[in-house]
């Protein structure tokens, strides 16, 4: 019996934000289908954007290639979002055991950013309520996606009543009630989504902040990148200063600094992501850049690795969650490249513990340029986003067929989503 290595879904609209569920649905741990759910969000230039949850139509698509009578994924439920979602994430796997005060036990949470931080409750695969009328068909299949809270705070630097647009957010794995958001108004805000309150807001950058990420294992330290071309680290225990870990070099032959600011123009940094297997390492890339920089927190100032494989601008990247870290990158060259960096990032020094402060620098490390990804996939058009699944265990279905364990990588390209078995 052949194992399926490619699953496909066609959305009714262009897809931007995308995430793979981090854990199986409550009460469905033994069902392969509930591990294959994606949250997706549209990107249209109006106030009619949507978010949706899609899942497998039938588990047999995982093992039978001739199961092509209908699509692999189907829309389970969708909701209005207004402005486009700049980011969408499922709750961390740790959220199912967290003592929430205001969440139904059967609900899973999703969050989105746009004009506000929105937290959504999703009830999936719930047994439909039994009908008093014989033969009546259950409607909606028991899937519900409802808005739980919308958080948008007063801005420290702007006076209008509504909060400025949010560019991204990071959901804390260790304390899933903590979410940090980044905004175009130069600030980052740490929220407690259980109590719907802002814990702190800080001016993080000189210009727009484009992305933010918690240090894995920490509830105090997060990093951010922005239009000023810097990567900065913040510690909630000492907010009076930040640590600049990296600043992009000024473009060669660029214009002289403007009179308003003596700083040279720098290339904005768009995304930041930690290697979950060794949180000393982070990846980032520049606006319109074709290369991806890998930074080591212990030797700030310059990248320790640069990945050169794309022939057009990079749009997305993501680390797998396996012990041997793989980084996937995707771009306007219609390519998805997988990089195996374990040989470059394994060091004799012990990884920094989450409780330690931002210190323990290493001696200067010479930058290594890596040009050979170990795997490449060509899409039909520009790849705008990607998302890894967690490690999905092998499962035996009621047909007697079994699936092999492994990770999947979902990629968004226009209206198409493809999930590749890695």
Instruction: Considering only residues 207 and 133, tell me which one the structure prediction assigns the higher pLDDT.
Output: 207
Which pLDDT score is estimated for 156?
61
3-state secondary structure (DSSP) of residue 57: coil
The C-alpha angle with vertex 381 and arms to 370 and 390, in degrees rounded to 5, equals 60
In sequence order, what are the residues at sequence separation of 6 or more whose Cβ sits closer than 8 angstroms to the Cβ of residue 43? Answer: 13, 14, 15, 16, 17, 49, 84, 384
Bridge-based pairing of strands 108-113 and 87-90 is: antiparallel
Q: What pLDDT is recorded for position 134?
A: 41
pLDDT at 360 over 90: no
Per-residue pLDDT for 2 more than 80?
no
The percent of residues above 70 in pLDDT, for the chain, comes to 83
Cα(200)–Cα(222) distance, rounded to whole angstroms? 13
User: CA angle, 235 as apex, 190 and 269 as ends, to 5°?
Assistant: 75
With bands split at pLDDT 50, 70 and 90, how would you rate the model's confidence at 287?
very high
pLDDT score for 133: 38
pTM of the model: 0.90
> Does residue 125 have a pLDDT over 80?
no
Most confident residue range from 262-271, 293-302, 347-356: 293-302
pLDDT band (50, 70, 90) for residue 396: confident
Q: Quick one: pLDDT band at residue 363, thresholds 50, 70, 90? A: low
- What is the C-alpha to C-alpha distance for residues 422 and 408, in angstroms, rounded to an integer? 6
Per-residue confidence (pLDDT) for residue 364, from 0 to 100 = 58
Q: Evaluate if residue 278 carries a pLDDT over 50.
A: yes
Instruction: Map tokens 């890894």 to a residue.
Output: 388
Predicted confidence at residue 319, as pLDDT, reads: 97
- The pLDDT tens digits of the residues spanning 159-168 come to 555 779 999 9
Task: Report residue 32's pLDDT band, with 50, 70 and 90 as the boundaries.
Answer: confident
Give the pLDDT confidence of 175-197 residue by residue, as tens digits.
999 999 999 999 999 999 999 99
Instruction: Write b or e for each residue in 109-136: b if 16 or more Cβ atoms lie within 10 A of its Cβ, otherwise e.
Output: bbbbbbbbbbbbbbbbbbeeeeeeeeee
Residue 137: what pLDDT?
Answer: 39
How large is the average pLDDT for residues 223-244?
Answer: 95
At residue 174 the predicted structure's pLDDT band, cuts being 50, 70 and 90, is: very high
Share of the chain above pLDDT 90, in %: 68
Please give the residue that has the higher pLDDT: either 186 or 352. 186
Dihedral pair phi/psi, residue 94, rounded to 5°: -70, -15
**What pLDDT score does 402 carry?**
85
| Local confidence band at 258 (pLDDT 50, 70, 90 cut-offs) | low
The C-alpha atoms of residue 348 and residue 232 are separated, in whole angstroms, by 26
pLDDT of residue 132: 38
- Please provide the average confidence, as pLDDT, over all residues in the chain: 87
């Amino acid at each position: 019996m052949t194992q399926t290595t490619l699953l496909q879904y066609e959305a009714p609209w262009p897809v931007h934000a995308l995430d793979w569920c981090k854990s199986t649905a409550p009460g469905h741990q033994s069902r392969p289908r509930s591990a294959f759910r994606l949250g997706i969000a549209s990107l249209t230039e109006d106030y009619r954007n949507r978010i949706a949850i899609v899942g497998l139509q039938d588990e047999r698509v995982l093992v039978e290639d001739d199961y092509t009578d209908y699509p692999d994924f189907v829309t389970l439920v969708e909701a209005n979002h207004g402005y486009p979602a700049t980011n969408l994430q499922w709750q961390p796997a740790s959220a199912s055991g967290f003592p929430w005060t205001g969440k139904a036990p059967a609900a899973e949470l999703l969050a989105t950013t746009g004009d506000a931080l929105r937290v959504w409750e999703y009830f999936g695969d719930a047994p439909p309520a039994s009908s008093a009328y014989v033969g009546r068909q259950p409607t909606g299949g028991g899937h519900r996606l409802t808005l739980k809270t919308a958080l948008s705070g007063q801005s420290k630097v702007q006076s209008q009543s509504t909060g400025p647009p949010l560019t991204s957010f990071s959901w804390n794995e260790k304390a899933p009630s903590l979410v940090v958001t980044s905004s175009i108004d130069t600030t980052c805000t740490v929220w407690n989504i259980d109590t719907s309150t802002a814990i702190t807001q800080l001016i993080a950058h000189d210009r727009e902040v484009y992305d933010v990420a918690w240090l894995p294992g920490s509830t105090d330290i997060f990093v951010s990148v922005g239009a000023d071309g810097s990567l900065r680290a913040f510690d909630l225990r000492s907010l009076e200063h930040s640590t600049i870990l990296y600043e992009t070099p000024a473009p060669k032959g660029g214009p002289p600094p403007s009179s308003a600011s003596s700083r040279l123009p720098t290339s904005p940094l768009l995304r930041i992501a930690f290697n979950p297997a060794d949180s000393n390492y982070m990846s980032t890339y520049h606006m319109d850049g074709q290369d991806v920089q890998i930074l080591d927190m212990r030797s700030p100032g310059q990248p320790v690795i640069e990945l050169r494989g794309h022939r057009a601008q990079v749009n997305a990247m993501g680390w797998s969650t396996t012990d041997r870290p793989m980084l996937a990158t995707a771009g306007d060259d219609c390519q998805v490249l997988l990089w195996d960096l374990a040989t470059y990032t394994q060091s004799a020094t012990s990884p920094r513990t989450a409780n330690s402060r931002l210190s323990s620098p290493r001696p200067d490390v010479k930058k290594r340029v890596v040009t050979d990804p170990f795997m490449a996939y060509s899409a039909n058009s520009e790849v705008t986003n990607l998302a890894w699944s967690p490690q999905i265990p092998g499962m035996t279905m009621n047909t007697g067929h079994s699936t092999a364990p492994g990770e999947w990588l979902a990629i968004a390209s226009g209206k198409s989503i493809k999930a590749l078995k890695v």
